[in-house]
Amino acid sequence: MAKVKKPHYVDNKKFLQAMIEWKQVCNIEEKDGNPQPPVTNYIGECFLKI
């Protein structure tokens, strides 16, 4: 019998890629003197699942 994915499962590879992209945007905004952008919906959902 195959394992069923739990609803609280976070795909680590997708989550890491999303965090890397968000951090790159943060670094650009910081250099320009702008406030840090909010996290994406996907990252927020992952935080809730962890």
16 is a domain residue = yes
pTM reported for the whole predicted model: 0.78
Distance CA 28, CA 36 (A): 9
3 is a domain residue = no
Enclosing domain of residue 38? 12-49
Backbone angles phi, psi at 10, to 5 degrees: -115, 125
The pLDDT tens digits for 3-50 are 766 667 899 999 999 999 999 999 999 999 999 999 999 999 999 998
7 is a domain residue = no
45 is a domain residue = yes
Number of domains in the chain: 1
5 is a domain residue = no
Region at 33 (left for phi over 0; alpha for psi -120 to 50; beta for the rest): left
